[in-house]
Each structure stands twice: as C-alpha cells, then as structure tokens.
A and B are shown apart, each in its own frame.
Chain A
Amino acid sequence: MSESGNIIAETATRIFADLADPQAVNSAADGGWKEPLWRALAETGLTLAWVGEQHGGFGASLADGFDILRVTGRFAAPVPLAETLLAGWLLSRAEIASPAGAMSVAPARPSDRIAVNPDGTLSGHACGVRFAADSLHLAVLASGPSGPSVALVETKACNLDEGVSLSGDVLNIVTFDRTATVHAAPAAAGFDQTSLMLMGATIRSVETAGALEAALALTVRYANERIAFERPIGKFQAVQHNLARLAGEVAAAIAASESAADAIAHAETFDKAVFLEAASAKIRSAEAAQEGSAIAHQVHGAIGFTREHILHRYTLRLLDWRDDFGNESQWAAALGNMVAARGATEFWPLLASR
C-alpha cells in the first residue's frame, strides 16, 4: 500500500468505525445512520476518489481507490460507496463530470444490453443494479451506432422494481424505455462492456477480501472466547483446522484481488493480462466467499445464525457479491475459453507473464 493509500484507507476506516460500526448498524431501528455517514464520506472526497479534479472529484490513483474498497468490505456497510466510485470512474472514461450524491452503474451483468436510440435516448434493461433505488444518478454504458457510449441518467427517469438481495441490500432491475440522458459521450477508444465488467469484478473481489478478513477476525475472536467442554473451542484441533482453512480462503481472496487491482492500476488497457487477473480474482474470491462464509458460520454455531449477531452482515454480502459483474461460473467459462483458444503451448507463458 502506498503512503497516500495508507492515509486514505485510514480516513475511510475512521469514518466507517465512527458512523457505521457494524454492531450499531445492525441494531439501528432505521437507516438514520446513513445520511451522516454519506456526508462524511462525501466531504472527505472519498465518494468521488476516482474522478479527476477537473470533473469535480478527488483525483486519487486507482490503487488508492482500491484501498478504500478493501475498507468498505471490512465494514460491509450497505451504502453505495463502491457503486459511486465505479460510476465516477465510468463517467470519466467519457470525460463526463460527476454530480454530487450517490450513484450506481448499469449494466451490472455481462449479458444485459442497453442501447442508444437514434434520438439519443436509452432503451434496454439491467438486472442486479445494487443500490439503484438509493442513488440519484446512474452511470450507464450503452451501445451506440458508433460504439460504446457512456451516459449520465437520473434514476427517477428509469423504471425500477423493488428488489432486494440476500443481505437485504437494495438490488434493482432497471428498465430504460426511451430514457433521456443528462449527458452522453462516446467511451474512450477500446473501452467496452467487458472492460466495465472487469473493473466491477475487481471491485467486488477487493470488497470480498475485506469482508472475509473481518469475518476471519470475528471468528478467531469467537473461538478464543467461547467456552465449551471446559475450554475455549479454539483449543480443539477440529476447530483450529477449520479456522486454518478459513485463513487459507481469506489469503487466496486477498492475494487474487490485490493482484487484479494492481494489474488494473498499472495497465494501459483492459488487455489479456487484465482479463486473466480480474477474471481469476472474481472466480477465486467468489469461491473463497462460499467456503469462508460456511466455515465462519460453522465455528459460530447458533449465535451466528441470529439477526442480532453481526456475522450475517458479512456472510450474506459475501454471497451476494458473487453475482455482481459476472458470477464465477460465467468468468470461468470465459477464462477457460480464452486459455483453450490460445492453446497448450501458450498456457504456461501466459501465467508466468504475471
């Protein structure tokens, strides 16, 4: 982590710890904590970290922004910070300035398509758009007559269903039916929907690593505190081995996601190397989410299955995020096809190039 990344991550950690402590959020009667949290995030520039100063943002590096996302994962707070970061970044791909307030991004699934109509309005739909109903604006990538186009759209101009995800986060199907844009411009050369999915997949992988770290810390603490058969359950070898396996999954998620974030931060374009890195990160972190959340629950026993305990804040989001920006099966098929098409002799050199 760079020095500036450290400062930014510390700032984010402080804000979340003060205003979105997982226990406090879990016990809160309503969403009253959201407004002060968002205000603090916005005032420190974190919400538009990836937007250049000329477009109203903070102008942080990609690496520093990924450090913020690791922190959002550690708190698993249901606010659209990751979505707003990604939206600001997407708008910047077409030199569109970012508005104030929360944003989300469409499409959020590889198979969804949104088209630019001849009159400049948008048509199509996007499934699984996280926090769309909580956002003032959507950053949209649509296919236009002369290539991919980025648009800023007011959320109220779209049709939204009333969906929620496993974890209870707002998760909408957004329908564009000759929807007017606030701004629209062609995306930078070479930028397409796969690029957006790779970026989104990497963001979710980094958040997954953060949430898994938090789940591991919670689980180790619980194993050291909970007494059964007259000793802490963490003294039992069967429990220790489960925790060692959990640590392995957490380690894999950290390594894969940081590697992908590092690859994107240093790449000129979304090339084959970024594809390998980001797809691998999404696949491996989703597998870790599945294995890791199961082990964390097993160690916690019944208390971890209650609404009162905060474990589900992490585990359900870990499971949720597997589906965003391409699930692990979709990425695996795409990655397998890429490796097969390149052939056996090119396989090891591709891995070794990273």
Chain B
Amino acid sequence: MSVELCFDQIRPPPECEELRRQVRTFIEEEVATGTFDPDRPSHGDSHNLAFSRRVGAKGWIGMTWPKKYGGHERSFLERHVVTEEFRVANAPVRLHFVADRQSGPILLKYAPEHVKMDILPRICRGEVCFVIGMSEPGAGSDLFAAKTKATKTNNGWLINGTKIWTSNAHIADYMIGLFRTSPPTKDNRRHGLTQFLVDMKTPGIKVNPIYQMTGQHDFNEVVFEDVLVSEDHMLGEIDGAWRQATSELAYERSGPERFLETFYVLVALVRALGPQPDRRSAEGLGRLVAQLHTLRRMSVSVAGMLQAGKEPVVEGSIVKDLGTAWEQKLPARVRELAAFIEPEATNRATLEQQLAFATMVAPKLTIQGGTTEVLRGIIARGLGLR
C-alpha cells in the first residue's frame, strides 16, 4: 500500500483548556446580551460585523499567523478549540470564517508584502469578509473547466465571465478566485488557471442573489465585466494554480465545521429523551456519540499533524468524507430515535424545529467544499489507485 493511514494521538495542551474557558465565557456573554441564540441554528449561518469585530479583538481570528500581520502565532490546536466552540454554539461567524480558514493562509503564502500588510491585519480585526471564487455555470466539481478569463493588459489583468454558487458574495469585501489565463495544454488540462485577489468594490462586478431552498440567502452569481485587477493582486504562479490548491486541502477539509454542522439536533435529542431513555434510543444515541467522538479525535489529530509540519492530505479528505456524510445523516437518525418520544414531552417542540432546519440543510453538506465523489477520488489516488 502506498499510504499508511496515520492519526497521531494529540491531546490538547493545557493552554487549550484555558482558552476553551475564555471562549465559553465570551459566548455566554454574547448570548446574554442577545447577539445570537444558540438554539437557533440559522444564526450560525449568518453574519454579524459587530460580533466578528469582538472576536477579532479577543485575538481569535488569524490565530496561527505571524504577529507582524496582526496574527497571534498560536497553534492549530488552539484555533481548533475556538472553531469548534463557536460552531457548537451556533455563533454567527460567517463574516470572518472563510478569511480565517483559507483566504488568509493563501495570502500569507502568495501575496506581495504590501498586500499582506494591508489586508491581513484587517482580517484579524474581523473587519473583512472573503469569498471563494471557484465554481462557474459550467465548472462545479470539474474545477479545471473554469472559463472566466483574466487577460493581461498594460494596467494589470482584465476579468470577464461569471462565477456561481458564490457564498457570501453579497456581503464580501474580497474574492480569491480562480481565473483562466491560458488554455489547458494537451497533456495537462489543469494548466492555465491563476489565482487572483479581487476587491469586490471594483467597477464591473455585479452580484445577483440566488435564494436557497431553506429560504436563506447565501449563494450568489457574480458577473465580471471588464473588471481590472492590478498586477500585484495575482497570487502565486501564473497558470499553475492547480499546484497551489492541493496543499490547502488538508486545512480546508478536516476542521470541526466538517462534522458539527447539524450537531444541535443531537443535543436537542439528548434534552428531549431525558435522563432515562428507552433501550432503543439509548443504543442509537450511544452509536452516534461513538461516531462523533471518533470524528473529533480524527480532526484533532489532523490539526496536530499540520502543526507538526506534516501533510495529512488523505487523512484530511477522509475526515471530510466521513464527517459530512455523518452530519448529513444525523437529522435522519435523530428523527428515528425521537419517533417514540411522547408528543407532550418537554423540549419536543424545539427538537422538531431544529430537525426541520437540519433536514433542509442536510443535502448541501456533502456538496460544499468538494463533493463526496471528488473526495473519494482524492482518497483513491492517495491509496495508489489512480
């Protein structure tokens, strides 16, 4: 076998426990003052600039980045603690989350110094929202089919085309997008795409809302018409963005947000079942707890391995494949286990409201950020099958 699956046993060091207490206290205060309601899962999917700024002021955005860019030089494990505590509380992190998870790290690696000095500290203060400009009407999972063009001119690059399913584009300050700078070559269809940083206020950008089946507005269509991007906003290697994408995967795919998205229904189930569940419910609950504990230990392990400078690409993809399948199935499992709870039982109403929301959200979980099918292809490649 070409890959040996490895999950280093990582236990969060003492500083993580202190941090966890601080985050929980902060969340309690925010809930007390009415910023958000932890029993309203749709809140976790919303943005709140004032909240993001307070999180930034606490030093919980850009935690692992160098101090000179506004970061805090803390560990991936500490970032993991903050991410999971906010996620479990359904805190409104949408505004800063993508920038913190992946846009910032891309800029750190590929942006020129003056761009880093300009933007990274603002991300850390919770002031700017980033979006990922990848999917296009004719290029979803098949990312390398992207056609939106960046053409070299004397003043920089001129972008024309359309991105779609762009979450948060209607509130975003910047996009990091993948644009075609050359046609693909015969022997490498991944060739010819380049990453650019785009200021969403640039003339020529039009954002059209696409409403989702949950009633929420998250998706957008982003149309580019002669949008001028300066030379210093090109990120990394020209025509070689596909090489940059793979190393980001482990970061993007193994975090707690990849299995905790519907966690609230499990908490609601525990509340509705009460202290002495029947045996069927107890067994079902126990299995879910074991599966979740395992996923969490895998995710912590990947965070620890990243911290140690390893590249657990296959392990990271496995966490997302298993994790998203699990969080997707969770509402259905909880529904089954709740089937015989007395209609008048306390907390049943909350459970049902949350189940309704989770059931609607479930289909997207194995699509966003790399579909199950794409992930399994990556895992198969890691096993030496492709």
Task: Say which size band chain B's interface belongs to.
Answer: 35 or more
Interface centre among B267, B293, B380 (most CB of A within 10 A): B293
The answer to whether B270 and A280 touch across the interface, beta carbons within 8 angstroms, is no
**Could you tell me which A residues sit within 8 Å of B by CB distance?**
213, 216-217, 220-221, 223-224, 234-235, 237, 239-241, 243-245, 247-248, 250-252, 254-256, 258-259, 262, 266, 276-277, 279-281, 283-284, 287, 328-329, 331-337, 339-341, 343-344, 347-348, 351-352, 354
Given contacts A217-B1, A247-B5, A248-B322, contact A336 B285 (CB under 8 A): yes
The answer to whether A336 and B1 touch across the interface, beta carbons within 8 angstroms, is no
The answer to whether A255 and B286 touch across the interface, beta carbons within 8 angstroms, is no
Interface centre among B282, B295, B384 (most CB of A within 10 A): B282
The answer to whether A344 and B283 touch across the interface, beta carbons within 8 angstroms, is no
Given contacts A220-B383, A248-B318, contact A354 B293 (CB under 8 A): yes
Interface-forming stretch among B151-159, B172-180, B271-279? Answer: B271-279
Interface centre among A224, A254, A256, A259 (most CB of B within 10 A): A259
Given contacts A255-B7, A354-B293, contact A339 B285 (CB under 8 A): yes
The answer to whether A256 and B294 touch across the interface, beta carbons within 8 angstroms, is yes
Contact for B385 among A224, A254, A255, CB less than 8 A:
A224
Main secondary structure of the interface of A (DSSP, over half): helix
What is the bound-complex CA distance between A336 and B266, given in angstroms?
12
Chain A residues whose C-beta falls within 8 Å of the C-beta of B383 in the assembled complex: 216, 220, 243-244, 247
**B296 to A, closest residue via Cβ:** A351
Given contacts A241-B373, A255-B294, A280-B293, contact A235 B283 (CB under 8 A): no
Is B379 interfacial (CB-CB < 8 Å)? yes
CB of A354 to closest CB in B, whole Å: 7
What is the bound-complex CA distance between A354 and B17, given in angstroms?
11
Is B202 interfacial (CB-CB < 8 Å)? no
What is the bound-complex CA distance between A337 and B284, given in angstroms?
10
The answer to whether B1 and A221 touch across the interface, beta carbons within 8 angstroms, is yes
Chain B residues whose C-beta falls within 8 Å of the C-beta of A240 in the assembled complex: 376-377, 380, 385-386
Is B291 interfacial (CB-CB < 8 Å)? yes
What is the bound-complex CA distance between A316 and B373, given in angstroms?
30
CB of A218 to closest CB in B, whole Å: 9
Main secondary structure of the interface of B (DSSP, over half): helix
What is the bound-complex CA distance between A252 and B4, given in angstroms?
13
Given contacts A262-B9, A335-B290, A344-B270, contact A354 B376 (CB under 8 A): no
**B372 to A, closest residue via Cβ:** A241
Given contacts A252-B298, A343-B270, A354-B297, contact A259 B286 (CB under 8 A): no
Given contacts A221-B1, A234-B385, A333-B279, contact A352 B20 (CB under 8 A): yes
Chain A residues whose C-beta falls within 8 Å of the C-beta of B287 in the assembled complex: 283, 287, 328, 332, 336
The answer to whether B380 and A243 touch across the interface, beta carbons within 8 angstroms, is yes
Interface flags for B359-384 (1: CB within 8 Å of A; 0: not) read: 00000000000000101110110111
Chain A residues whose C-beta falls within 8 Å of the C-beta of B290 in the assembled complex: 256, 279-281, 283-284, 331-332, 335
CB of B379 to closest CB in A, whole Å: 4
Contact for A251 among B266, B282, B292, B315, CB less than 8 A:
B315
CB of A87 to closest CB in B, whole Å: 26
CB of A111 to closest CB in B, whole Å: 14
The answer to whether B271 and A344 touch across the interface, beta carbons within 8 angstroms, is yes
CB of B54 to closest CB in A, whole Å: 22
What is the bound-complex CA distance between A235 and B381, given in angstroms?
10
What is the bound-complex CA distance between A351 and B266, given in angstroms?
13
Is B327 interfacial (CB-CB < 8 Å)? no
CB of A247 to closest CB in B, whole Å: 6
The answer to whether A237 and B9 touch across the interface, beta carbons within 8 angstroms, is no
Contact for B267 among A237, A244, A348, CB less than 8 A:
A348
Chain B residues whose C-beta falls within 8 Å of the C-beta of A248 in the assembled complex: 318, 321-322, 379
